[in-house]
Chains A and B, each alone.
Chain A
Amino acid sequence: MSKSSYLGADTIALHSGYQPESDHGSRAVPIYQTTSYVFDSVDEASALFNVEQGGHIYSRITNPTVAVLEQRLAALEGGAGAICTASGMSALFVSFFSLCSAGDHIVSAAQIYGSTVTLLKHSLKRFNIDCTFVDINDQQALGAAIQDNTKLVFCESIGNPGLAVSNLPAIAKTAHAQGIPLVVDATFATPYLNNPIEHGADVVVHSVTKWIGGHGVAVGGVVIDGGNFDWLKSGRFPTLTQPYEPFHGMNFWEEFGPAALAMRIRCESMRDIGAAMTPHNAFLLLQGLETLNLRMQQHVSNAQAMVTWLQTQDAVAWVNHPDINAEAHTKALFPKGAGSMLTFGVKGGRDAGAAFINALQLSSNLANVGDSRTLVLHPGSTTHSRLSEHDLIAAGIGADLIRVSVGIETLKDIQADFSLGLRAAAKILAQQAEA
């Protein structure tokens, strides 16, 4: 796949999109905490509004600090352009919104983040956009689910919370054979572990809130336009290949080609929906991005050590991580390890699981992943509680499942903390045996 930068990933994460500005020589990316930008003249204003000139007009549409993060993430993922949004969910929404209209259809992996399920299954449905959920690694099922009105195939590169790894090259092949683009939520992988565009994805979405930020202080999202999909040849994308009246009759494909989708999102979604990332959040998320690669090494090595350790604990019923008995495509897509999420069940079911979580002192019981600190959660009673029993199983979630986002603390301290939890769980199991 084509490059977007000749720098190495570690250098991109630190430098891309910003060089010290000439006014003050600020080494750090400045926070442009402003809503709007003074035009040199009426002529310049009209040139900016009519896209005769690049630049900033209003921070709902673009902002210089946010643009640094966008350009850096686009370079890291090897895309043609990127749009940052207020959250990962809004990044997903604007991606679907830009490719689909009423009467259209999406094929999605069944094992995905709970809020993305509700977006696809309920919220978009209100606008007459339908979704079929499939086992995304079953290429026959995927191919058969694509309809005449299908506009995209969606999956997570590592599914939340089932941790199934999507076989991206196979999925891309199935989708492309029918002229459909592949949209991949790569939140759990981060640009450090896997770059989906290299493996056939056409659009990459991240919740930047998670590992990319890492500090857990700012919510944000990004859509990266892979730039390889021929929207015209596909024949399914009037939003990109026909004149868009509300923006000077702009034909995004003709005028911007590989960046057509990014420009459509900029000109339509950011204007009309306005889920913009704030400059301050962009600054905070840039601080995280700068050390992403180093942090991910420790995330992954801690996760792999925790998997091995948990497998030896008596109180543990099962452990799941994509690297355990890794499938061939997992090894090929994730040579550095398939992320720092793991799930496990404690013996004694739901009550023992609750006892485990309640006994922890170091690890945090909360609804987030990808913080530098170790996070634990019982999805069945929280993030995925709105799913029916059937949907829970389809999403790969058992009632006893505990989800762990392994942090970068000293390994022995995480293990000591989990020992507290496992002892509490064992007590419940013993009580159950007595009763």
Chain B
Amino acid sequence: MYIQVDNANTFIATGGKPFAAHLPTVVLLHGSGTDHRCWALQARWFAFHGYSVFAPDFPAHSLSEGEALTSIELMAAWLVRALDTTKVDKVHLVGHSQGFLVALEAAGLLGDRLKSVTALATASAIPVNPALVEMAQSNPKVAAEMMLQWGFGSPHQYGASSVPGMQPIGIGTRIMANNPLAIDLIACNAYEKGAEKARQLANIGCPSCVILAAQDRMTPKKEGFKLALDLNTAAQVIADSGHMLPMEAPKESLNLMKKFIQSLET
């Protein structure tokens, strides 16, 4: 669906079913330079199993218009404004990589509207190599390729695909090369409040779930374990997947996501 946020036409993927604010809502937040399509399969499952799905393209990403947001704080505030346009009350926040930094920051703004947080292939801080940022500024296509060479785990480097016949590296590079990757990376790099926000969530007893990828070279899993410690939860690790976890292991990641979220809804 398209909604207006800050007067900009904004795309929210709803998993193939109309958004219904009264249903338990799962918010799926994409990572740097990507878009809602990294959740294509997971979004459909939630939408067809009694949930409403709210998977935005952040401003200036893929199908959304507007100006790219330059910090995690601005993205979190934007997310809350976007959610408010739908009259949705309580939400489960799920974030991949940068998307989880946004979730951590948005958690404080949402207060008791937040039901849980789920982290995929991420950490509480995401330092980015300055050379990559520079490349993303000067040649986004090459930067996207560099990132995905690191981003995808070994099966995908050898052409694996969870959807038969597809080339996720090809799909990912095309999406990333046309999105404001450099701005996203700078925002990730600058965000230093992740660990503190995670500990605050643990202190108020917010349910959390951490799903890591064994072959993650962008946010190495030892950083993910630290995040889990801060959130006071146990991390679960998916084998044979790299950083692009939602695309690389949609079934395995969905199984853990849905088990956690379902446990809170029944």
On A, residues with C-beta under 8 Å from B are 2-7, 12, 15-19, 47, 50-56, 62-64, 66-67, 70-72, 74-75, 78-84, 227-228, 232, 248-251, 254-259, 262, 266
Residues of B204-261 whose CB lies within 8 A of A? 250-251, 254
Across the interface, B170 reaches (CB within 8 A) one of A17, A67, A70, A79, namely A79
How many B residues touch A, CB cutoff 8 Å?
Answer: 39
**B174 CB-CB contact with A under 8 Å:** yes
Q: Are A78's CB and B170's CB within 8 A? A: yes
A51-B44, A228-B174 as given contacts; A5 in contact with B167, CB under 8 Å:
yes
A52-B45, A53-B250 as given contacts; A80 in contact with B174, CB under 8 Å:
yes
Report chain A residues within 8 Å CB of B162.
53-55
A53-B251, A257-B35 as given contacts; A2 in contact with B167, CB under 8 Å:
no
CB distance from A227 to the nearest CB of B (A): 5
Which of A70, A71, A228 counts the most B-chain CB atoms under 10 A from its CB? A71
Across the interface, A257 reaches (CB within 8 A) one of B149, B164, B169, B175, namely B175
Q: Are B157's CB and A6's CB within 8 A? A: yes
Q: Are A4's CB and B13's CB within 8 A? A: no
A54-B251, A257-B37 as given contacts; A7 in contact with B157, CB under 8 Å:
yes
- Report the bound CA distance from A48 to B162 in whole Å: 12
Q: Are B48's CB and A3's CB within 8 A? A: no
Report chain B residues within 8 Å CB of A251.
16
**B19 CB-CB contact with A under 8 Å:** no
Q: Are B171's CB and A81's CB within 8 A? A: yes
Which of B44, B167, B254 counts the most A-chain CB atoms under 10 A from its CB? B167
Q: Are B173's CB and A4's CB within 8 A? A: yes
Return the chain B residue nearest A227 by Cβ: B174
Report chain A residues within 8 Å CB of B167.
4-5, 71, 74-75, 79-82
Nearest first, the 4 closest Cβ-Cβ pairs linking A and B are: A4-B170, A16-B159, A67-B164, A54-B163
Report chain A residues within 8 Å CB of B197.
none
Report chain B residues within 8 Å CB of A5.
157, 159, 167, 169-170
- Report the bound CA distance from A284 to B86 in whole Å: 54
Which of B42, B155, B164, B165 counts the most A-chain CB atoms under 10 A from its CB? B165
Q: Are B171's CB and A75's CB within 8 A? A: no
Return the chain A residue nearest B166 by Cβ: A81
Return the chain A residue nearest B11 by Cβ: A254
Across the interface, A255 reaches (CB within 8 A) one of B37, B164, B170, B175, namely B37
Q: Are B165's CB and A227's CB within 8 A? A: no
- Report the bound CA distance from A17 to B156 in whole Å: 8
Which of B11, B161, B166 counts the most A-chain CB atoms under 10 A from its CB? B166
Report chain A residues within 8 Å CB of B11.
254
- Report the bound CA distance from A109 to B218 in whole Å: 47
- Report the bound CA distance from A250 to B40 in whole Å: 11
Return the chain B residue nearest A15 by Cβ: B158
Q: Are B158's CB and A81's CB within 8 A? A: no
**B41 CB-CB contact with A under 8 Å:** yes
Q: Are A52's CB and B44's CB within 8 A? A: yes
Q: Are B159's CB and A262's CB within 8 A? A: no
CB distance from B253 to the nearest CB of A (A): 11
Q: Are B171's CB and A71's CB within 8 A? A: no
Report chain B residues within 8 Å CB of A72.
159
- Report the bound CA distance from A53 to B49 in whole Å: 13
Across the interface, A258 reaches (CB within 8 A) one of B45, B144, B160, B170, namely B170
Q: Are A227's CB and B44's CB within 8 A? A: no
Return the chain B residue nearest A75 by Cβ: B159
Across the interface, A262 reaches (CB within 8 A) one of B41, B63, B166, B177, namely B166
Report chain B residues within 8 Å CB of A266.
165
Beyond known contacts A3-B145, A52-B42, A258-B170: 15 more, CB 8 A cutoff: A2-B141, A15-B159, A18-B158, A19-B158, A47-B45, A51-B44, A52-B44, A54-B161, A56-B164, A70-B164, A71-B166, A74-B167, A79-B170, A249-B16, A254-B11
**B62 CB-CB contact with A under 8 Å:** yes
What would be 21 A-B contacts, judged by CB atoms less than 8 Å apart?
A6-B169, A15-B158, A19-B155, A19-B158, A51-B40, A54-B161, A54-B163, A66-B164, A71-B167, A72-B159, A74-B166, A80-B174, A81-B163, A232-B63, A249-B16, A254-B11, A255-B37, A256-B40, A256-B171, A258-B175, A259-B163
Q: Are A55's CB and B164's CB within 8 A? A: yes
Report chain B residues within 8 Å CB of A50.
16, 44, 48
CB distance from A68 to the nearest CB of B (A): 8
Report chain A residues within 8 Å CB of B16.
50, 248-251, 255
- Report the bound CA distance from A56 to B163 in whole Å: 9
Report chain A residues within 8 Å CB of B37.
255-257
- Report the bound CA distance from A2 to B146 in whole Å: 11
- Report the bound CA distance from A259 to B167 in whole Å: 9
Report chain B residues within 8 Å CB of A63.
164
Report chain B residues within 8 Å CB of A79.
167, 170
